[in-house]
Every structure is written in structure tokens, then in C-alpha cells.
């Protein structure tokens, strides 16, 4: 045994449940079975050409650091984009923005600026699991407020308020949601803002999927926390290039807040890591010139996929409600151990030479035992493949149930 002991946080930080099955899936694929991946949020929509061209056009003689909070020209352009394509009513200023290495670093900075070790954040489970990873890194606790499929994943404000205690410093909530696809209405946001205000806690609104909403006229966007009255002091928005422009590898994100002190703290964290990437900021600047039609096309494509997947699942007898946004579907299954089932799908099952890799939802809950019969499906593949995924899932459920009954009969 090593005499060099890891820190508790190093030893205990959870591994990502989203990637947990990846090794088994790769091994299966190497054996000749086609694997359809619905387990991670990696969009397959082509990255916009102007972004790719920005990388190709780069010819500075020195690849230098950028300012710690990002290029001022980029922040200025982002501020303008929010009130046009971004669909915000109230203008944000360039100086409200700090450019980060993905939305991930924006989350880390926002959580670090609002909590101390021993404090806690509130999360509405099932929630984006990396919130737990950052909490572990910062020595803070996550307190879950449970939402359910039966309730269509509604965030119940009474339960949120009841979960607040002396250690609570912030509510962290994605809208549109990962993994539920739930979009908070302006009224719901108002209610949450008033609760956070009453208790003196911050609200970190993770809006990396803001354009990806499927109901309402063209140009509809998920309501932003920054448009809600009373959010100026307590509100931080997390944003990212990854999903909206299919540019996960750019590792570009930013946070936006009208709270000057909070913004300063984020900037100082930013100074400690010197600079966000340089060339990728040029790529984001190019993406900000994309016309509204580009977003309309992307949203139409994801809407088609959502509708295809939902009706294909209905055909398999699975009850799912159509999600309002993002590209995730949290699906209750008639199975009591979805983790074992997902593993078996990847290692043992196939239909016509292919199988499907899903994410068990239990890893998206902090409460032990929750989500045991649920999975997350990501609709980032073409419609025809999604239909095949639903057929594989339906056949898999039947085979798994027959297998379990067989085992019980033997016992
Ligand atoms: C809700 C949510 N927030 C933040 C992120 C972080 O994205 P990135 O660091 O690629 O910007 C993700 C990525 O999947 C996400 O789903």
C-alpha cells in the first residue's frame, strides 16, 4: 500500500456515470456489434463553417495569452448577441461577462465565488452530475430537492424553500434541464428568485441549452434568469459554446452576472489560471454572426429527433412525456435495476447486430435509491437511428424480463 495518501476529496470524487459504460461499449464494438451511443451529450450537428474557418484563418506569429476575463471585443459582441439572437429583454454589459474554459469552468468559478468549504448548494435531482464533482472539489455539500417523472419533473418551490438551511449558499439549476429537458417558465424563475432573495442565497442558472426549446414560435428561447426582476444581486448565468454550436471541443464558456463583486471574484479565479484559450475565442466571435435561420434549422432538427424518439418509445409501450428543451429524455423503465440493465444491454444483448448505450439515471440523483428504474437517452443521432434505438430498448426490456423470470423460476 502506498505511504502517500490522497486527500479525502481526491479519493472520494465520483467518476462520471455518463461515461461509466463507455469502456464496456468500446469492447463490445471491437467484437463486431454496432453500438448506438445515446449516453453522452455530444451533438452530431456539424460545427458551423465560420467557426471552423476561424481556426483555419489563425496566423498570428505568437499564440499569446488572452486577458483573464476574455477579449473585450468578444465580451462586447456577446453582450449584443444576447439581446438579438439570444432573446434577452434586458441588456447585459460586456463587463458583466467572464470568459471561461467551457461552461464547466464557469460553474466552478460561480460555485467557488458563492460558497466556502462546509457550505452547501441546492440542486434539483435528477441533476447534471458534474455539479457534484465541482462540489467535491470545493469541499461543499449538495442538498437535493427531488423532482419526479410523475410530476413531469416540475421544480416544486415549496420543497426548494424547505430544503434551505443555514449552510445553503446557492441554488444551482439548469434550464433547459439536463437530464429532464424541463424548461423553467418566467413565473417559476420569479418564484425561485424571490425564495433565494428571502434567504440571502445566490441562484446559478445553467443556461447552456437556452436556444434549444421546441414549443412556441420561431425565435423562442428559454426565459433567462437575467431577465427576472430582482435577480441582479443574486443571479449568475452559466453559458457555453458547446451545445448551441456543436463545439464541445472548443472548451469555451462564460458566466454573466450583474453582481460586480461576484464578477470580480470570478475574474480573480480567472487570473489564477491566467487565460481562457485564445483561438477558440475567435471561433466563438465568428459563431456570434450566425443568422437566426441557422438556429431555426438546428432547433427543427432536434425537434424532429425528439418527436421521433418519443413516439418510437410510445410504440414500445414506454410512458414518456415530451421534453420541452435540451436534447435529453429521462425515461422510467419497467425494470428495477436500470444500471444492471444498461450494462447488460452493452455487454450481452443485441438486435440485428446492434445494441444501445444508455446512461442509468441513478447517478443523476444524490438521494440513494432514487432513479433506480430510470435511464437518460440523448437524442443526438439521426431519426432513423433513434427509431432503431427504441426498438432495441423495447426488445431488450422483454429479453431482460424473461431472463429475470427464468432466474426466479430456477431459484
Ligand atoms: C447542464 C450542463 N451544464 C454545463 C455543461 C458543461 O458544458 P461545457 O463545459 O462543455 O461548456 C454541460 C455539459 O454537458 C451541461 O449539460
What are 163-192's pLDDT values in tens digits? 999 999 999 999 999 999 999 999 999 999
Determine whether the shortest distance from the Cβ of 178 to ligand 1 is under 6 A: yes
Determine whether the shortest distance from the Cβ of 39 to ligand 1 is under 6 A: no
Name the percent of the chain lying above pLDDT 90: 90
For residues 190-195, give the mean pLDDT: 98
Pair 353, 387 in one domain: yes
Phi and psi at residue 67, to the nearest 5°: -55, 150
Pair 350, 208 in one domain: no
Q: Is the pLDDT of residue 10 over 90?
A: no
Residue 36 lies in a domain: yes
Q: Give the pLDDT of residue 17.
A: 64
Let me know: does 383 contact 369? Beta carbons within 8 Å. Answer: no
Ligand 1 centre to CA of 22 (Å) is 19
Q: How far is CA 204 from CA 114, 121, 143, 248, 321, in A?
A: 10, 10, 15, 21, 26
* CATH number, position 314: 3.90.1150.10
Ligand 1 atom nearest 253 alpha carbon = 11
Segments forming the whole domain that contains residue 323: 8-46+293-405
Residue 209 lies in a domain: yes
Q: Is the pLDDT of residue 406 over 80?
A: no
Q: Is the pLDDT of residue 385 over 80?
A: yes
Residue 3 lies in a domain: no
Pair 61, 156 in one domain: yes
Q: How many domains does the chain have?
A: 2
The confidence band for 3, taking pLDDT boundaries of 50, 70 and 90, is confident
The confidence band for 110, taking pLDDT boundaries of 50, 70 and 90, is very high
Which tens digit of pLDDT belongs to each residue from 224-233?
A: 999 999 999 9
* Close Cβ partners of 252 (under 8 Å, ≥ 6 residues apart): 99, 100, 101, 102, 240, 241, 242, 276, 277, 280, 281, 283, 284
Pair 59, 141 in one domain: yes
Question: Which of 103, 172, 253 for a ligand 1 pocket mutation test, highest count of atoms within 8 Å of Cβ?
Answer: 103
Q: Of the residues 264, 290, 316, which one is the last residue of a structural domain? A: 290
Question: Which of 40, 42, 98, 102 for a ligand 1 pocket mutation test, highest count of atoms within 8 Å of Cβ?
Answer: 102
* CATH number, position 207: 3.40.640.10
Q: Whose CA is nearest to atom 14 of ligand 1?
A: 41
The confidence band for 22, taking pLDDT boundaries of 50, 70 and 90, is confident
Name the percent of the chain lying above pLDDT 70: 98
Neighbour-count burial of 331, counting CB atoms closer than 10 A to its CB (0-12 exposed, 13-18 middle, 19+ buried): buried
Amino acid at each position: 500500500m502506498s505511504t502517500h495518501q490522497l486527500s479525502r476529496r481526491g479519493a472520494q470524487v465520483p467518476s462520471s456515470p455518463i461515461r461509466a459504460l463507455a469502456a464496456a461499449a468500446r469492447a463490445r464494438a471491437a467484437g463486431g456489434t454496432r453500438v448506438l451511443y445515446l449516453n453522452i451529450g455530444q451533438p452530431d450537428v456539424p460545427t458551423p463553417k465560420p467557426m471552423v474557418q476561424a481556426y483555419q484563418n489563425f496566423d498570428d506569429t505568437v499564440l499569446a495569452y488572452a486577458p483573464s476575463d476574455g477579449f473585450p471585443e468578444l465580451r462586447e459582441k456577446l453582450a449584443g448577441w444576447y439581446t438579438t439572437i439570444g432573446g434577452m429583454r434586458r441588456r447585459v454589459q460586456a463587463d458583466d461577462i467572464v470568459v471561461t474554459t467551457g461552461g464547466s469552468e464557469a460553474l466552478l468559478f460561480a460555485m467557488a465565488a458563492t460558497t466556502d468549504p462546509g457550505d452547501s448548494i441546492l440542486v434539483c435531482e435528477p441533476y447534471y452530475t458534474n455539479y457534484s464533482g465541482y462540489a467535491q472539489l470545493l469541499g461543499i455539500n449538495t442538498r437535493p430537492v427531488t423532482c419526479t417523472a410523475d410530476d413531469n419533473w416540475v421544480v416544486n418551490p415549496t420543497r426548494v424553500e424547505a430544503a434551505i438551511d443555514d449552510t445553503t449558499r446557492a441554488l444551482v439549476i439548469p434550464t433547459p434541464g439536463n437530464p429532464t429537458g424541463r424548461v423553467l417558465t418566467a413565473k417559476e424563475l420569479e418564484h425561485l428568485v424571490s425564495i433565494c432573495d428571502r434567504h440571502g442565497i445566490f441562484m446559478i442558472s445553467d443556461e447552456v441549452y437556452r436556444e434549444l426549446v421546441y414549443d412556441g414560435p420561431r425565435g423562442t428561447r428559454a426565459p433567462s434568469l437575467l431577465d427576472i426582476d430582482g435577480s441582479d444581486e443574486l443571479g449568475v448565468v452559466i453559458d457555453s459554446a458547446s451545445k448551441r454550436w456543436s463545439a464541445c471541443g472548443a472548451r469555451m464558456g462564460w458566466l454573466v452576472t450583474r453582481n460586480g463583486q461576484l464578477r470580480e471574484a470570478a475574474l480573480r479565479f480567472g487570473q489564477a489560471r491566467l487565460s481562457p484559450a485564445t483561438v477558440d475565442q475567435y471561433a466563438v466571435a465568428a459563431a456570434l454572426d450566425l443568422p437566426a435561420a441557422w438556429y431555426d434549422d438546428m432547433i427543427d432538427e432536434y425537434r424532429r429527433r425528439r418527436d421521433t424518439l418519443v413516439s418510437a418509445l410510445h410504440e414500445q409501450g414506454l410512458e414518456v412525456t415530451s421534453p420541452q428543451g435540451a436534447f435529453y429524455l429521462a425515461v422510467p423503465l419497467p425494470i428495477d435495476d436500470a444500471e444492471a440493465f444498461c450494462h447488460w444491454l452493452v455487454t450481452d444483448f443485441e438486435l440485428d447486430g446492434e445494441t444501445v448505450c444508455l446512461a442509468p439515471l441513478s447517478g443523476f440523483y444524490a438521494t440513494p435509491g432514487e432513479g433506480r428504474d430510470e435511464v437518460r437517452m440523448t437524442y443526438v443521432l439521426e431519426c432513423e437511428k433513434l427509431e432503431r434505438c427504441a426498438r432495441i430498448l423495447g426488445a431488450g426490456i422483454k429479453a431482460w424480463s424473461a431472463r429475470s423470470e427464468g432466474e426466479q423460476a430456477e431459484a
